[in-house]
Amino acid sequence: MEKILKEWEAELRLNGFRITHPFRDVMEVIISSPKPLSPMEIFSKVRDHNPQIGLVTVYRSIEKLEQLDLLDHIHHINECQTVFPSAKAHKHLIICEKCGRSTYLDGLEIESEFKNISKEAGYEITGHWLQLSGLCEECQ
């Protein structure tokens, strides 16, 4: 978590953003969460040890991190505003449907199959979006 935080801060500084205390608090909460969080969830976690934080700051922090592709928006049934540190390479997310714990998986190679099927439908594929759901070790 310290490692990712350092990376994020470096990237932010490179792009002219400033690292303030409230902003760092938001980043720490996001990075140390095992599951995607909504703006309100982030707000409430940050407030636990920084009571004067404003919800607006959470929204604006998310906005900056998204601009630099450091965050992914995670879509789930009835929940499409949660964020999670982004996958660097081409990975896919698996979410525990009970507790929300999430991880990026590596090694799924499915592109070639997509291409064939899509051609039949007349589409030229440019990207895909795959998310798995299941039960994590603890919840099984």
In the complex, the residues that contact a second copy under the rule CB under 8 A are: 73, 75, 77, 80, 94, 96-97, 103, 105-110, 113-114, 117-118, 121-137, 140
Nearest to 30 by CA among 15, 46, 17, 14: 46
Q: Is 44 in the site for DNA (CB under 7 A)?
A: no
Q: Which does 16 bind (CB under 5 to 8 A by kind): a second copy, DNA, none?
A: DNA
Residue 20 binds which entry of a second copy, DNA, none, CB below 5-8 Å type-dependent: DNA
Given a contact cutoff of 8 angstroms between Cβ atoms, the answer to whether 83 and 72 are in contact is yes
Among positions 42, 53, 74, 94, the unique one binding DNA when judged by CB under 7 A: 53
Q: Check binding of 60 to DNA (CB under 7 A).
A: yes
* Contact partner, 32, from a second copy, DNA, none, Cβ < 5-8 Å per class: none
State in angstroms the smallest separation of the CB of 60 from DNA.
5
54 makes contact with DNA (CB under 7 A): yes
| CB contact at 8 A, 39 and 81 | yes
Residues 97-136 as x/- pattern, contact with DNA by CB under 7 A? ----------------------------------------
Strand partners, 74: 82
Closest by Cα among 6, 2, 7 to 88: 7
Output DSSP code: residue 37.
B
Task: Give the separation between CA 85 and CA 27, rounded to whole angstroms.
Answer: 10
Are the C-beta atoms of residues 68 and 11 closer than 8 Å to each other?
A: yes
Count of CB atoms situated within 10 Å of the CB of 66: 14
Interacting residue ranges for DNA, rule: CB under 7 A? 13, 16-23, 38-40, 50, 52-57, 59-61, 63-64, 81
